[in-house]
């Protein structure tokens, strides 16, 4: 694997107890790790990107549209384009999100 394929991105504080780190990207796809302390909040928001979320660790209460659900390590789901969503960490952990196309606002 050449060094041009592997990129390094900074860790960004996105809120109290929440950080974001892009781990891979291309114009068509972006993979991002979000680390949450217990009680950390991913504020309600929406975007035109389709998002898949994998719960690597922790427990989270997610709001997606009008539905609230609790997800745990090993769970995954898809959030359609432009649907309002957000979460709260009931137990600190890591979410791995994939976006298509890439979230240029994260670069």
Give me the DSSP letters along 31-54: EEEEEE-TT-EEEEE--SSEEEEE
Query: What single DSSP character describes residue 101?
Result: S
Judged by DSSP in three states, 77 sits in strand
User: pLDDT at position 69, please?
Assistant: 98
Judged by DSSP in three states, 33 sits in strand
Helix (H) or strand (E) holding 100: strand 85-100
The 10 Å CB-count burial string (b at 16+, else e) for 90-107 is bebbbbbbbbeebbeebe
Statement: residue 87 has pLDDT above 90: yes
How many other β-carbons are positioned within 10 Å of the β-carbon of residue 55? 20
pLDDT digits (tens, 9 = 90+) for 6-55: 889 999 999 999 999 999 999 999 999 999 999 999 999 999 999 999 99
Statement: residue 3 has pLDDT above 70: no
């Amino acid at each position: 694997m050449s060094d041009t394929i592997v990129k390094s991105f900074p860790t960004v504080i996105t809120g109290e107890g929440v950080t974001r780190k892009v781990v891979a990207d291309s114009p068509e796809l972006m993979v991002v790790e979000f680390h949450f302390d217990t009680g950390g909040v991913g504020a309600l928001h929406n975007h035109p990107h389709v998002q898949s979320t994998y719960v690597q660790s922790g427990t989270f209460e997610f709001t997606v549209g009008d539905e609230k659900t609790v997800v745990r390590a090993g769970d995954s789901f898809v959030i359609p384009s432009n649907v309002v969503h957000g979460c709260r960490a009931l137990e600190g952990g890591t979410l791995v999100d994939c976006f298509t196309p890439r979230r240029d606002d994260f670069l």
